[in-house]
Structure 1
Amino acid sequence: MDVGLLFDLRNPQRWQRPRDRHYGRILDFCTEADQRGVGGLWFTEHHLFADGYLPQPLTFAAAAAARTRRARIGTAVVVAPLHHPVEIAEQAAVVDLISGGRLELGLGAGYRRPEYQLYDVDFARRISRAGEHIERVRELWRERGITPAPVQDPPPLWGGFYGPRGARLAGRLGIGLLHLSRESFVEYQLGLAEGGHDPSVARLADLLPILLARDPERAWARVGPHLVHQVNSYRQGALEGTGRNSPPLTLDDLRDPNAQDTRGLLRILTAEEAAVEIKELTAGLPVRHLIFWADIAGMPDDLVADNIALVTGRLPALLAAAS
Structure 2
Amino acid sequence: MNLLVTGAAGFIGSRYVRMLLASDAPDAPRITVLDALTYAGSLRNLEPGHPRLEFVHGDIRDAELVDKLMADTDQVVHFAAESHVDRSIRAASDFVLTNVVGTQVLLDAAVRHSVGPFVHVSTDEVYGSITSGSATETHPLRPSSPYSASKASADLLALAHHRTHGLDVRVTRCSNNYGPHQFPEKIVPLFVTHLLDGRKVPLYGEGLNVRDWLHVDDHCAGVDLVRTAGRPGEVYNIGGGTELTNRELTGRLLEACGAGWDRVVHVEDRKGHDLRYSVDWSKARDELGYRPRRDFDTGLAETVAWYRDHRAWWEPLERRTDAERP
Query: TM class by shorter-chain length?
Result: 0.3 to 0.5
TM-score normalised by length of structure 1:
0.35
Larger relative CO (CA 8 A, sep 6+): 1 or 2?
Answer: 1
